[in-house]
Structure 1
Amino acid sequence: MSKTKYALTGFGATVLSLSLLFSSSFAQSPSESQSRLEAYNKLRKVIGTVENYYVDEVTINEIINKAIDGLLSNLDAHSSYLNEKKYEELKVQTDGEFGGVGITISMKDGALTIISPIEDTPGDKAGLKSGDIILKIDDKSTLNMTIDDAINLMRGKPKTKVKLTIVRKNEPKPFVVDIIRDVIKVESVYAKRIENSEMLYVRVTSFDKKVGKRVAEELKKASWAKGVVLDLRNNPGGLLNQAVELTDLFINEGVIVSQKGRISSEDAEFKASKNSPFAQIPLAVLINNGSASASEIVAGALQDHKRAILVGENTFGKGSVQVVLPLDKNEGLRLTIARYYLPSGRTIQALGITPDLIVHPGVAPREKKDDFSIKESELKQHLENELEKIGDKKEVKKEVKSDEDNKSVISEENLWNDIQLKSAMDALKTWSIINPAKK
């Protein structure tokens, strides 16, 4: 089984042969071999019983597929079985274009919960928020529904309608949101000048296969910039190599991220290439509870190298490595094989990244914690972490967008409406005075 290029930051249609079932990469003692044989016999008996006695007729292929799906989904929150449809959808998604609503979802205590809407998609425009619980999709309850099944229901032909019943913190009762599906073509990177300043705002919405290249292009065009705000808020992650490539733009040497798993062959260390063109420019990174996986790798590496000021809220805490292992041309497994570790050796898993400057969204301080913020540690099958969970759960609000009159500039008015961005700007101004960028 060879790994595909889809190393993520989140079997088959025939019966497994006995040779595959009994294959092993390590020598076994007689007692271990006997134990494996007894386990396989139990599985065979269960399959036979279901095939012969279940109330409805179920084919052997259906039984095996369901068994595989159950096995993977019970390992952790991010491993899954990819049948032909899901396998194709994953490849389309990593290419940066797919059809549907435009939200990132996960499970929290058995409830289908929105991690974050994808910016400028139908879900975002309809007002869906991080922490919203999806109670129904059209008329189908999401109780005990898998994430993949929910995704399949929400995706569909462009211009068709899907109805989501939402439960939201502080709302007295569930409410319905009607959303018109569209082709979700995510613009993963865009940049704007911040009005009346020499600061560049760079927003990265997800880590598809072009992120590193696109950010480098924007930075090269902004030769006038004396500071950069890199916005990773509500960025759910994506491809590992793009997280490494983006970080490499800003540091000249050292480890960016390492991964360690049960199998030593899966251990890896990713280092800076020593030719960073932007290693001196002052940098602030915006993060929040919706920043996950690849976003946390970038933010954590820049923090460990003391290369950026992190502003915002504690991140999601997804520090596990998934790879896609093809079973054949049309099916595969998304399997967790390792954990990520930052340059300092600290883990992200179930802890997340704590910003250097904690700033909550909004102007006025909030009186209560928002119990509907989602973290990796709260997922039903999250990987256990060796360290104690830290960090409060905070409400996520949508970040500022540029004014309508000038799409390439963030106005002062919008800047003041986004206290996190304003705080990042203030931090950069201080940095520029103390340690001006080398040109």
Structure 2
Amino acid sequence: MLKKIFLVFKEKKLLIKKLAFTAVLFGLLVGSFLGGVFYGAWQAGESVNPKKVFSSVINRTNNQPKEIDFSLFWDVWTRINQSYAGDIDDQKRVYGAIEGMVAALGDPYSVFMPPSLSKDFKDDLSGDFSGIGAEMEMRDNNLTVVAPLSGSPAEKAGIKPKDIVLEIDGVDVNKYSFGEAIRKIRGPEGTQVTLTIFRPPSEKPFKITITRQKIHVSSVAWEEKDGVYIARVRQFSFDTVPLLKNLALEMTRKNVNRLVLDLRNNPGGFLDTARETWRLFSDKDPLLYQKEKDGNLKPLGGIGTDSPFLNTKLVILVNNGSASASEILAGAVKDYNRGKVVGEKTYGKGSVQELQDLRDGSSLKITTALWLTPNKLEINKIGIEPDYLVELKDEDIKNNKDPQLEKAIEVVKSL
């Protein structure tokens, strides 16, 4: 089973939002595959000329070759060995080199993950993990909450999308790389973590203490209310399409033809799962255009032939925690007039990442393309505006009201 999961992760493209790591040293970009060779030579007293290994690189902007001199890198490596008063972990330095190389791209969604963090990331997608249950990324150099998972300790404690984490158990987050920060927030079930939160436009930070839990989250849950089904899709994962097909069977048995697809605080998921989900609701293509490195637009349609919701009256419910794959679905529903979109403007993540497994259990998540809606509209850092703008205010939450869902039910009944 584990092997199957890893193969799927290796082959599928991802739209999960995760933070790029804090840069360690831009110049450490060779540590991943030559650290052992050069360091071994250094220990043996041998002289290693990087130019014998790296003859040149091509500057693809002006097509002019430029030699890379790695002498500064090895100079710093040697100086650390000779001068640093503390313990030195060579493997940690190598991982730091790779983290810095990827972080130097300046892309918050491209990230190198050492084995432990790579495992945590995959556990998150599988729906099994221990922690507070919140998706985070780096935005404008701040550790920012994308969305708390529905029903998670983070949501119950009051964490909201776009909250900025300033401290973890009283320690400034700037002292940590992203991976370190995530590991500090995670922890054994039953233990607590205190986060210092800044929530714009408020000027005063505040603390929230959260009890960690072992979390297993099915990606879809639903209920019927007043002749309308409400399906909450938490993320686009392995079980999303099978669960939605089960929902379709139940709706057919009960002769219900109206559905609110609640994508609020859904941070994304597998691109192929989003494509499979679209086919359940529509036979129109493309679902999106993928803008590749050369600038070409590649149309991508739905996957599959079964469309059990083809004639279902549909409303998509979104907020500013709806991102990536959620926005793909919402954008297509709007462009094809397949239904209506209710709620708040979405997050604005219009890029595609690919997860590449590496030989030691680490992985590289790297942006391979941008995506556009069927009408070729870019949404990156822009988001998708709903057809019906409805805000969910703190007062509504305190009074256990959900005007967004109420409006969505009203709209779907009118279709």
TM-score class, shorter: 0.7 to 0.9
1:419 lines up with 2:394 in the alignment: no
Match of 2:94 in 1: 64
Question: What are the within-5 Å matches in structure 2 for residues 29-68 of structure 1?
Answer: 32-33=64-65, 35=66, 37-40=67-70, 43-48=73-78, 50-52=80-82, 56=86, 58=88, 60-68=90-98
Contact 1:51 1:60 in 2 (8 A): no
1:214 lines up with 2:220 in the alignment: no
Cα distance in 2 for residues equivalent to 1:323 and 1:85: 19
In structure 2, relative to structure 1, the CA distance for the partners of 1:81 and 1:327 (3 Å cut) is: same
Match of 1:95 in 2: 126
In structure 2, relative to structure 1, the CA distance for the partners of 1:273 and 1:305 (3 Å cut) is: farther
Cα distance in 1 for residues equivalent to 2:347 and 2:52: 37
The offset of 1:132, in angstroms, is: 2.4
Match of 2:44 in 1: none
Correspondent of 1:140 among 171, 176, 181 = 171
More displaced 10-residue stretch of structure 1: 320-329 or 18-27: 18-27
Question: What are the within-5 Å matches in structure 2 for residues 71-110 of structure 1?
Answer: 71-75=101-105, 76-110=107-141
Cα distance in 1 for residues equivalent to 2:55 and 2:288: 33
Cα distance in 1 for residues equivalent to 2:52 and 2:227: 61
AA matched with 2:403: I
TM-score (norm 2): 0.81
C-alpha RMSD of matched pairs (Å): 3.3
More displaced 10-residue stretch of structure 1: 126-135 or 69-78: 126-135
Provide the identity percentage: 31
In structure 2, relative to structure 1, the CA distance for the partners of 1:19 and 1:399 (3 Å cut) is: farther
* Cα-to-partner distance string for 1:300-356 (whole Å, 9 max, x where unaligned): 122222101011111111111111112204112111111112222222211111111
Match of 2:144 in 1: 113
Correspondent of 2:181 among 147, 150, 153 = 150
Contact 1:362 1:419 in 2 (8 A): no
AA matched with 1:178: T
Match of 2:14 in 1: 8
Correspondent of 1:185 among 216, 232, 254 = 216
Contact 1:254 1:272 in 2 (8 A): no
Correspondent of 1:270 among 274, 298, 301 = 301
1:333 lines up with 2:364 in the alignment: yes
In structure 2, relative to structure 1, the CA distance for the partners of 1:277 and 1:213 (3 Å cut) is: same
1:130 lines up with 2:161 in the alignment: yes
* Secondary structure in 2 matching 1:289: coil
AA matched with 2:412: L
The offset of 1:298, in angstroms, is: 1.1
The offset of 1:287, in angstroms, is: 0.8
Cα distance in 2 for residues equivalent to 1:266 and 1:39: 37
The offset of 1:73, in angstroms, is: 2.1
Cα distance in 2 for residues equivalent to 1:325 and 1:211: 22
* Cα-to-partner distance string for 1:147-197 (whole Å, 9 max, x where unaligned): 222111111111112122223346674333222111121132111111xx3
* Secondary structure in 1 matching 2:129: strand
1:256 lines up with 2:287 in the alignment: yes
In structure 2, relative to structure 1, the CA distance for the partners of 1:399 and 1:323 (3 Å cut) is: farther
The structure that is helix-richer by fraction is: 2
Cα distance in 2 for residues equivalent to 1:120 and 1:307: 29
* Secondary structure in 2 matching 1:143: helix
Contact 2:108 2:139 in 1 (8 A): no
* Secondary structure in 2 matching 1:346: coil
In structure 2, relative to structure 1, the CA distance for the partners of 1:38 and 1:6 (3 Å cut) is: same
TM-score (norm 1): 0.77
Cα distance in 2 for residues equivalent to 1:423 and 1:191: 18
AA matched with 1:320: S
Cα distance in 2 for residues equivalent to 1:255 and 1:27: 35
In structure 2, relative to structure 1, the CA distance for the partners of 1:244 and 1:24 (3 Å cut) is: farther
Match of 2:3 in 1: none
AA matched with 1:213: P
AA matched with 1:72: V
* Cα-to-partner distance string for 1:187-214 (whole Å, 9 max, x where unaligned): 32111111xx321111111122111111
Correspondent of 2:231 among 190, 202, 205 = 202
Cα distance in 2 for residues equivalent to 1:162 and 1:20: 50
In structure 2, relative to structure 1, the CA distance for the partners of 1:297 and 1:20 (3 Å cut) is: farther
Contact 1:262 1:338 in 2 (8 A): yes
